[in-house]
Structure formats: C-alpha cells, structure tokens
Amino acid sequence: MTHIEKTRQIIHAFLQGDIPAILERIAPDVEWEYGAISTDVPWYQARRGRAGAQAFFESLAAVEFLTFEPKAFLGDGELVVVMIDSDYRVRATGEVIRYTDVALVFRFDAAGRVAKFKHSIDTHQAWLAYHGADARNAA
C-alpha cells in the first residue's frame, strides 16, 4: 500500500470519527504539529507520541466542523500532502474559521507509519477565533 493510500485511510477514518484507526497508523513517537508553533490555540499545539495525538483529537471537541473537504492527495517518497478546505466554529466564542487550500503534511517512517504531522494554516485567524471578539477589537 502506498503512503497516499494510507493517508486516504487516515482522512477517511477522521471523517468517520474513528480515532483509534488513526492512532494505529501513526508511529509511537510521532511528532504531532512539528515545526514552529506561534499560537496558544489548543488544537494547534506541538505534541509527541500517540498520547499527544490523542490529546489533539480530544481538543477538537472545542470546535464544530462545518466543512472538511479533501481536494488533492500529493505524494513523493515519505511525504504526503493533503489539500483540504475546512470551515469550523469555535464553540466557546461562536467565531468561524474558513480555510481554503489548507495543507496537511504527513511524513512517514521506514515502517510505513506517520512519523510527523502538521497543519500549514493561517494560525492568526485561528488565534482570533479562539480568543473571540476581544482579540479582534485589540488587533
């Protein structure tokens, strides 16, 4: 099975709410949201290991997805990028985040598991929505 096919399975599992199926496909020491993080938004925090990935999925209880549409799966070697459109509402503030062409980046290890994952998104938009009207007025 190719890494693109594995990634399609992960996205399908996410859409079905099957988090255990996702956790089975990631490395025990996965780097979740690797790279620089410039926000305190809980669902965009760097985490490590399957427990960290599980914590990410638990943090999503704070949002309501309005859309989550995979548009393209692109891959080369151990790298797969999924382009999605995704709109969601932050439950605590009611603010809506609208993303077009978000890149979900998956890096696979030699065992064929996800070793690294991150979103490439507009973190400022997420920060504003997470902090609500007060943040918009101060910005």
What is the C-alpha separation between 113 and 69, in angstroms, rounded? 23
Which uninterrupted H or E stretch holds 108?
strand 96-108
Domains plus CATH for the chain? 3-138 (3.10.450.50)
Residue of 29, 99, 114, 115 whose CA lies nearest to 65: 99
The DSSP call for residue 37 is: -
Phi, psi (degrees; rounded to nearest 5) at 100: -120, 135
The pLDDT score that the predictor gives to residue 27 is 98
Burial label for 17, CB within 10 Å (0-12, 13-18, 19+), is exposed
pLDDT in tens, the chain (139 residues): 999 999 999 999 999 999 999 999 999 999 999 987 777 899 999 999 999 999 999 999 999 999 999 999 999 999 999 999 999 999 999 999 999 999 999 999 999 999 999 999 888 888 888 888 665 555 5
pLDDT of residue 32: 96
Choose among 82, 87, 117, 102: nearest CA to 11. Answer: 82
